[in-house]
Amino acid sequence: MHKVITISELRETVREWRKQGKSIAFVPTMGNLHAGHLKLVTEAGKRADKVIVSLFVNPTQFGVGEDFESYPRTELEDEKKLESVSTDLLFLPSVFEIYPENPVTTVTVSGLSTLHCGAHRIGHFDGVATIVSKLFNIVQADLAIFGKKDFQQLAVIKKMVKDLNIAIEIVGVDTEREHDGLAMSSRNGYLSSQQRKNAPKLYQSLCQARDAVLQHTESYPAIETACKKSLQLAGFEVDYFSICKASNLELATENDNDLVILAAAKLGKPRLIDNVFFEKQ
């Protein structure tokens, strides 16, 4: 595995691969890697000749009072994990390398960025769209791999790529889960032992809501309300629990068939997100 810290080094390597006719897959991460990340890298290796992984904790997607400074940085451990899967190049840029000289340009995906997480984390998806567009421009890969755990982030990136005619294929990979159903996340490490026992209830509530939708037992607002109350009783502070159209993440009606149920809730300090997506017959 080759490691670079500058954009010029990365581009030089990519130019050599292109001369050799190699296809390139890209997996952007913020580090503190777990099995879910490694699943993305493995999938990238199946789809392209060369795989680039970036480790970059992006400051512009953290809001005031969020955990940018305390976000876990585990570069040495991450490098060892990446060496065990199909990583050809690791990109480890500094903040100044990515954001030199006080940049003022921001990428905004209107509409999608203000729903759900965007309503609770103002500006978050502007930071996501900006860093992802910068990384796509730097790496110039054929495809990029993202997890479906952050369903809204994936939707924002897909819309940005389409609207800006960026020549890259976006591939979503199913969420990797712990044995009890909890979606793997770098923030799970913040959970206390008791919170960790309660955390799987978020996914359980999503599955219960999905089953209720499929069984047509209650209205969508009633299902959402019941699940919110259940989570609150379990100690969660619920930001949202919403039954949505998978196509645009707007609230669904009972006439919609392609659905995703999105949820975000704090359990103590950590904010957990998860979803289930399905087709209603």
Active site residue ranges: 37
With contact defined as beta carbons under 8 Å apart, do 276 and 210 qualify? yes
Helix (H) / strand (E) element for 247: namely none
Please tell me whether residue 236 adopts helix, strand or coil conformation.
coil
Q: Which two tokens stand for residue 201?
A: 């209830």
DSSP-assigned letters across all residues of 214-237: HHT-S-HHHHHHHHHHHHHHTT-E
For residue 222, report the phi and psi dihedrals to the nearest 5 degrees.
-65, -40
Q: Which two tokens stand for residue 197?
A: 């026992």
Beta bridge partners of 277: 260
With contact defined as beta carbons under 8 Å apart, do 115 and 250 qualify? yes
With contact defined as beta carbons under 8 Å apart, do 281 and 260 qualify? no
